[in-house]
A and B are shown apart, each in its own frame.
Chain A
Amino acid sequence: MNRWLLGVIVGAGLGFLDGATAWFTPAVRPFIQGILIGSSFKGMIVGIASAALARKLKSVGWAAGFAATIGLILAYIVAAMPSDTGEHYYLEIMLPGFVLGGLIGFLTQRFGK
């Protein structure tokens, strides 16, 4: 599959699933719709960045590392925004965001054409 399309689909899909895990946090459950949209969008950006890197570099390891870093940065931006209760969920957002970014980068590099 075209790497740009794959990056967008994989990023949005995995981002959506990642956002859906917020359902397990009762405090943010009322905002699940916004979280799903935001998380999918974040995943798409990581996917597009991964596809852009894949054009220049043919290395699965570098692609995963690069995408994980982008995922971490985006997750930090999201986590830096306080919730309605004023709490920050740095660990809960950044750690999965980092691993998910790596996964998106890996898939885009490995299976994109």
Chain B
Amino acid sequence: MNPLSDDIVNHLRTVAELPDFSGSRYSIEQEIGRGGMGIVYRAMDHQLKRKVAVKVLNTPDMTGEACIIASLQHPGIVPIYDAGTLPDGRAFYAMKLIEGCQLNHSFAAETSFATRLQLFQKICEAVAFAHHQGIAHLDLKPSNIMVGAFGEAYIMDWGVARKVTSVESAIAGTPSFMAPEQSVGRGCPLSDIYALGAILSTLSEHIAPPVAAISKKAMSESMADRYSSASELSADIGRYLEGMPVRAHHENPLERLTRWASHNSTLLLLVLAYVLVRLTLLFLRFL
């Protein structure tokens, strides 16, 4: 008897792992993501004739992730369309399929730092909305943020998200984006602020000092030293983008002058042109 080749074995394994959606409105096309809480597939919704993303959870518990996402209706949070249970007992939910890429792969080299920061502000707004609804994400990281084709940002993977009222949370998250308190199971909205600070520091290799200070403040070891909300963090980024001093960074006079000059370069150029014209005319007069 001929043994099966590795390719065939792998194919059979993949097919065997595919969830059974026979008899439902969905047909699975391919796996597009895999995490600790489940697997995400690209699928076809035959009833509404559109592509969707279907996440099949590892557990039969439907009350957590799907219900949390369903309660968060915001342009920056991926909308959920449907939820159900597979014949094998696993829970699944269908959501909008984002045609884009993860935040850590979304920036072309020529993308300006200001554009990146504006995208970051959109992420902050979505996080602030979730916090306002009493939910902390607790696993914010670039790979959990999708950027659409038109620059829209979506926060994904709410698998470890918790209601703010529940103080204790599971020790889950990604170490480099995880706040110190999360490692002892006490994640809270301020842990998301920490993660946002960590994401901010990954936006570019060369971060301006004020933005680095914002990131540092957001990632403070002590929760009391962090921004009190994602909106406050976003506002400080906004101040930087508008050429105003940020709250996280105390400027010295030279930095203040440099910031003013770079934000008012046209004005400075016009004043210098006028002074130059006047001095030249004065010089010509005394020749």
Interface residues, chain A, with chain B CB atoms under 8 Å away: 21, 24-25, 60, 64, 91-92, 95-96, 99-100, 102-103, 106-107, 110
Pairwise interchain contact A60-B266, C-beta atoms closer than 8 A:
yes
Q: Which candidate, B111-119, B199-207, B278-286, is the interface stretch facing chain A?
A: B278-286
List of B residues within 8 angstroms of A21 by Cβ: 278
The answer to whether A24 touches B274, judged by C-beta atoms less than 8 angstroms apart, is no
Known: A24-B282, A24-B285. A100 touches B274 (CB 8 A): yes
A-B contact number at CB 8 A: 32
In the complex formed, the residue of A with least CB distance to B276 is A99
Contact of A64 with B278 at beta-carbon distance under 8 Å, contacts A24-B285, A25-B285 already known: no
Asked if A96 and B274 make an inter-chain contact with CB atoms under 8 angstroms apart, the answer reads yes
Which residues of chain B come closer than 8 Å to A25, judged between CB atoms? 285
Distance between A63 CB and nearest chain B CB, rounded to angstroms: 11
Q: Is the interface of A mostly helix, strand, loop or mixed?
A: helix
A99–B267 CB distance below 8 A: no
Contact across chains for B270 and A102 when beta carbons are under 8 A apart: yes
Residues of A within 8 A of B277 (CB): 95-96, 99
- Residues of chain B lying within 8 A (CB to CB) of residue A100: 274
Q: Tell me whether chain B's interface is mostly helix, strand or loop, or mixed.
A: helix
A-B contact list, 24 entries, CB within 8 Å = A21-B278, A24-B282, A24-B285, A25-B285, A64-B266, A91-B281, A92-B281, A92-B285, A95-B277, A96-B274, A96-B277, A96-B281, A99-B270, A99-B273, A99-B274, A99-B277, A102-B270, A102-B273, A103-B267, A103-B270, A103-B271, A103-B274, A106-B266, A110-B267
Q: Which 10 A-B pairs have the closest CB atoms?
A: A103-B270, A99-B274, A99-B273, A96-B277, A95-B277, A92-B281, A99-B277, A102-B270, A106-B270, A24-B282
Bound-state CA distance A99–B266 (Å) is 12
Give the CA-CA distance A100 to B273 in the complex, in Å.
9
Render B244-287 as a binary contact track against A, CB cut-off 8 A, 1 for contact: 00000000000000000000001100110110011001100100
Known: A95-B277, A96-B281, A99-B270. 19 other contacts (CB 8 A): A21-B278, A24-B282, A24-B285, A25-B285, A60-B266, A91-B281, A92-B285, A95-B281, A96-B277, A96-B278, A99-B273, A102-B270, A102-B273, A103-B267, A106-B266, A106-B267, A106-B270, A107-B267, A110-B267
